[in-house]
Every structure is written in C-alpha cells, then in structure tokens.
Amino acid sequence: MAEPKKKQLRAIATPFVALGPSGVAVRDRLKHLRSEDEKVLHLVGEHLESLASSDLKARCADGNGHDEDRWAARKQGLTAQSSSRWARSITKATHDQWALSRRCQLAHIQGLEAGVRTLMYRLSQPVGEKGTKKAPGGYRSKGEWFQKSRRLHTLERRLDAARADREAGVVHVVRGGKKLARNRHNLQAAQLTELEWRQRWEAERWFLAADGESGKRFGNETIRVAPGGEVSIKLPAPLAHLANAPRGRYVLASKVQFQHRGDEWRDRIGGNRAVAYRIHYDAARGRWYLTAAWSRPVVKTIPLEAARAQGVVGVNTNADHFAAYLLDPHGNAAGEPKRFFSDLAGTADHRDAQIRHAIIRLLHWAKRCGVKAIGIEDLDFAQDKTREKHGRRKWFRQLISGMPTGKLKARLVSMAAEYDLAIVAVDPAYTSMWGDQHWRKPLTSDKRKMSRHDAAGIAIGRRALGHPIRRRTAPPHNDQSDRRGHRTVQADRGARGREETRPRIPGPRTRSVQPDAERKRATRAPKTVRDTRSDQVWVQDSLLPTD
C-alpha cells in the first residue's frame, strides 16, 4: 500500500525587528491671513506651477537618456525665472515624481503578468473542472470561458504596451492627481461644480515647497520660519516687486506654533539644521496649511532577544479591527483578548485618522502590559488583489484592497518608536489556520469567547517569540508516559500555569492500578458512589508514609 504524500508547506521566514522611522513631518494651519497674503501665495504658486510642469515634461521627454548635463541645463533655465534654490527644489521634486512613476509602472506590469498567468492556467483546464486549495479549476461554463478568453487578449495588449513604455522610459504622470482629473468628466458623481473643481485642481497643482539647508539661518533660506512662528518667503525674480521685507522676501501676517513636536522643531531651527517646508491650500475647507519635515537618523532597533525578553503583544490585522493578545516570554497566553476597532469607510483622511486612533489605543495598552515589542504580520497583498485570482469573490477583493497595509506599516513603526516599542515582523503563513486549530478551542470558556482572529493573534505572538505555534509537541511514540522526559515545547519551570507532568493518583477517574492488584486481580471494584468514596480514601491512606 502506497504511503500518502505529505503536504508540502512553504518555508517560514525568520522574524525580524523592523527599522525605525527616518523622518518627521508636522503640520499647522496658517490662520488670519490677509487678502494681500493670499494673493501673493496664489501668484507664487501659479508661477512655480508652470515651471514645475514644464520641467516635468522635459524630464519625461528625456526618458532613460537623462544625464547630469541635461539636469544642469534644466536647472539653469529655471534659475533665470525663479532662483537657484527654487530651481533645485523643482528639479528634485521632478526626479522624485518620475522615479515614483517608474516604480508604479513596474508594479502595474507585475499585476498584469499575474493576471495573465492565472487566466491562461484556468483557460487550459476543462470547463467545470473543480479547483483545489493550491490551484484554481476551470471556468463554470462555456460562456464564462469565452468572456475570460477575451479578457486575456485585453490584458496581453495592456501588458505589451506597458512593457514597451518601460523599455522606452515612458511614464504617465498627472500633476494634480489622476482621480481629480477624471472627476472633471463626471462632476455630478463627484458632487462638485465646475468652479469648485477648478479651484481644487489649481490648488493641487500649485508648487510651494522648499528643501532645507543645513548651516543656513533657521535651516531654510527659501521658506523661512523663525522660532516665534513668523513665516517669510523668498519671492521668485519676476515677482520680486511684491516684497514687503528686505532682499526680496515677503512676510506673512500669520504665525505657526507646531503643537505636535514643537520642541523638536525649535531645537532643529535653533541649531540651523535643515527643515523642509510646504505650503498647501485646502480648497474644500478654504484653509492654508504649512507642513514642516526633516530627516533624522534611523532609530536603532534593539536586538531580537531583547525585544522578546518581557513577552510580546501579538496583533492580527483585519479590515475593521486589530485583534491583540498578550503573551509572556514562554509563549503562554495571558489575560483576555483585546480588540481595537476602526472604520475604514469614507475618505482617505477619515481612514487615516481611524488607523491612527486604533494604533494609539493599541500602543497605550501594550505599554501598560509592560512589553517591549509588538508582533505583527509582514503583510503585502500586492499579489492577492488581482481580479483573476479570486474570480467572483468581489467582496473579498474589495476587502483586501481596502486594507491599507503600506500606510499601516509606516504609521505603526513611526508611532511605536515614540513609545520605545519595537515592531517584530513575522511571516503571515498559516497563522490564522494554525491559531484556530491549536488555540481557539482550549482558551474558549463560558466567560471567554475566542474568535479566529484572537487565536491568530496568539499564533503571531508565538512566532514573534520564536516558539512553534502549536501548544506542545507530540508525546513520545512508545506510549503516553513521560519516560523519555518532558515534551520539548514547554514553558519555564517558574511560569504560572505551566504544562507539566503531574503525579498520577490512582482512583476511579484515572483508572490506575492499585498497589496490590496482583493479589486482588479477581476482585472487581464496586461502581456505587459510596464504595467509590471508600476506595478513594483507601488509596489516599495507602499513599501516607509508614513509620
């Protein structure tokens, strides 16, 4: 008889401590601006926007043939119409935008390739063929097969065009955003009038950003913010006649304070270290904002063993909540499961606020628990968002597409660094399945309701601690006794509630053999309640030490 094939599991990646944040950005509102101030900001933003658009067009035309000489020529042309510092900020923003478009282009090609592979495989299967957990089956009907064959040709054409653009160095960029550009063709669905759309479109395209310079006064010569909050702007050469301060500068009537990280910001500008600024107009609210950003050395992560020393909090990420569980250093679940809910419906700003609120509650609870690290899955749904992979499960595609994994990582790492908490990223393979298999039922009681997500949090925490997810290893293969020693996966001797070998007291519940079983082999123990009590007393008396 042939032996059944063992299921091949994919290799589990080693947990690691995520690097800390490398930059900081804070924002404050520019209040009480005069009409003259807003007029000057409009003119500066429009003038620099035209320069930034022409520079981006020139950079896209260069494609892969861009070099330092062409960059120098572009910068020299911009300097005559603004200043050398404005020209440097514009060309740097252009290079960053072009590089981002190239990365998005590569991700788009990879998504198309994944879709083509899935379609080709399913089209090669017989119609009605059932799929397995590892591979999908064929399509349900000939009509569906025909429609998917047409979609395959469409994706192949898109893939060929994207590959040709990448080889030629062609990228497609929309200054102001593709979404806002598409809203112009359907203003009713966007709930905007033409005037409102025009105001938002112009505001998004304005360029009012300046890079910082170390060693210069207050860390920036173009947009300068004094410790008292006074904001001044170096006007471009064609608009120098609008200056209200010496050396072609314009001072705004509004002052900023930076309540969040204000001390750190003042310390930087006091030492004349570089701080980048960006002025932005929110047309929907009619408000002006100033954003300050600076880089800082990457926070040194603590060693993995030090992060595990006091236990971890295992966190399972879901579409509407975080399921967290506290684990001690030996992998034992402690306390009750915790959930931190968030509503990811609505606008991007609302979703971002919900993520921050959920994370801050999680960090406060982890700090109270006394741990030094949080274990979380290293999630990336780039391969799982394809329409072809999940077929008709549109709700599932929308579910995983709505989970902001990239923003969640950035937020969690940066916010955890402020609480001196390390983030241990683990491989997400089989955490939900094995957690449900090994931890959900044992921890469920009349007073505790365990869900699959709570059990997954325990599995993630144990993987972050370096323990196997299952509660204990299999017993020795001889029999169920512990003659070969304790099972290998056991808690420490000092841990409370440790799984250990307990002495076997003979009695009717354990069905142990009495000491004189050979002499009373023919005598059967009675099954009445009264006689059972007397037998139990007899067993306990027999265990008392003799004189």
Give pLDDT tens digits for 155-193. Answer: 999 999 999 999 999 999 999 999 999 999 999 999 999
Instruction: Give me the amino acid identity at 118.
Output: T
Instruction: Give me the amino acid identity at 365.
Output: W
Arithmetic mean of pLDDT, 117-134: 87
Task: Please measure the distance between the N-terminal and C-terminal CA atoms of the chain and give it in whole angstroms.
Answer: 61
What burial class does residue 255 get, using C-beta atoms within 10 Å of its C-beta: 0-12 exposed, 13-18 middle, 19+ buried?
Answer: middle
Q: Which pLDDT belongs to residue 521? A: 47
Take residue 267 and report the two structure tokens written for it.
């310390």
State how far the Cα of 156 lies from the Cα of 147, in Å rounded to an integer: 14
Asked if residue 535 lies in contact with residue 507, where contact means CB atoms within 8 angstroms, the answer is yes
Asked if residue 307 lies in contact with residue 424, where contact means CB atoms within 8 angstroms, the answer is yes
- Give the contacts of 435 (CB within 8 A, at least 6 positions apart): 452, 455, 456, 457, 458, 459, 460, 469
Work out the pLDDT band at 507, boundaries 50, 70, 90: very low
Arithmetic mean of pLDDT, 495-522: 46
Average pLDDT, the chain: 83
Q: Are strands 312-317 and 373-377 parallel, antiparallel or unpaired?
A: parallel
Take residue 229 and report the two structure tokens written for it.
């909050």
- Asked if the model's pLDDT at residue 495 lies above 70, the reply is no
Q: Which pLDDT belongs to residue 446? A: 85
- Give the contacts of 284 (CB within 8 A, at least 6 positions apart): 200
Tell me the C-alpha to C-alpha distance, in Å, between residue 145 and each of 34, 123, 404: 64, 7, 33
Q: Which pLDDT belongs to residue 399? A: 55
- How much of the chain is helix, strand and coil, in % rounded to 5? 45, 15, 40
Work out the pLDDT band at 501, boundaries 50, 70, 90: very low
Q: Which pLDDT belongs to residue 296? A: 82
State how far the Cα of 419 lies from the Cα of 217, in Å rounded to an integer: 32
315 has which bridge partners?
324, 376
Q: pTM of the full predicted structure?
A: 0.74
Work out the pLDDT band at 135, boundaries 50, 70, 90: confident
Asked if residue 334 lies in contact with residue 327, where contact means CB atoms within 8 angstroms, the answer is yes
The residue with greater pLDDT, 481 or 146, is 146
Q: Which pLDDT belongs to residue 137? A: 86
Domain covering 304-465 in this structure, CATH number: 3.30.420.140
Chain position carrying tokens 């250093």: 329
Chain position carrying tokens 């196997």: 468
Work out the pLDDT band at 11, boundaries 50, 70, 90: confident
Of 20-34, 156-170, 401-415, which one has max mean pLDDT? 156-170
Beta strands in 219-317 (DSSP E): 223-225, 230-234, 249-255, 276-282, 287-295, 312-317
Q: What residue segments make up the domains of the chain, in order of their start?
A: 23-295, 304-465, 504-540
Lowest average pLDDT, out of 257-266, 297-306, 436-445, 459-468, goes to 297-306
Lowest average pLDDT, out of 35-49, 81-95, 275-289, 298-312, goes to 298-312
Arithmetic mean of pLDDT, 311-327: 90
State how far the Cα of 59 lies from the Cα of 71, in Å rounded to an integer: 8
Q: Which pLDDT belongs to residue 400? A: 55
- Here the contacts of 260-265 (C-beta below 8 Å, separation 24 or greater) are 260/26, 261/24, 261/26, 262/26, 264/24, 265/26, 265/292, 265/294
Work out the pLDDT band at 544, boundaries 50, 70, 90: very low
Greatest Cα-to-Cα distance within the chain, rounded to the nearest angstrom: 117
- Asked if the model's pLDDT at residue 289 lies above 70, the reply is yes
Q: Which pLDDT belongs to residue 390? A: 54
- Asked if the model's pLDDT at residue 407 lies above 90, the reply is no
